[in-house]
Amino acid sequence: ILNVEQSPQSLHVQEGDSTNFTCSFPSSNFYALHWYRWETAKSPEALFVMTLNGDEKKKGRISATLNTKEGYSYLYIKGSQPEDSATYLCAFLGGSQGNLIFGKGTKLSVKP
């Protein structure tokens, strides 16, 4: 059974703090890693799709890195804002014909 683990489960930070969380996934048969942002009462929204070892992607204050050899990805948020409060999901894809295996997410709360 393929497992995708995210840590921490939840995180509370103050506005302005920078933060990061981890997604761990199987290091064998890697094909892609997806990151999604999921605000309460809304739909999950794609942030990044990462495919190459060492890849680093950035969107505004949010960035992500990927290490496929050791099976982890970090998501960083610089200068957190209250509107960053959401659950951040990662999803592992093993093989081009595989299906996304989601972690349970990291729930981020940013206090003003």
The residue among 33 and 77 lying less far from other proteins, judged by its C-beta, is: 33
The residue among 51 and 53 lying less far from other proteins, judged by its C-beta, is: 51
Tokens of 42: 């809304």
3-state secondary structure of 111: strand
Q: Does 1 bind other proteins (CB under 8 A)?
A: no
The residue among 79 and 95 lying less far from other proteins, judged by its C-beta, is: 95
- Which region among 20-28, 67-75, 76-84, 102-110 touches other proteins (by CB under 8 A)? 102-110
How is residue 84 annotated by DSSP? G
- Which region among 18-26, 63-71, 76-84, 88-96 touches other proteins (by CB under 8 A)? 88-96
Tokens of 3: 């497992």
The contacts of residue 20 (CB under 8 Å, 6+ apart) are 74, 75, 76, 77
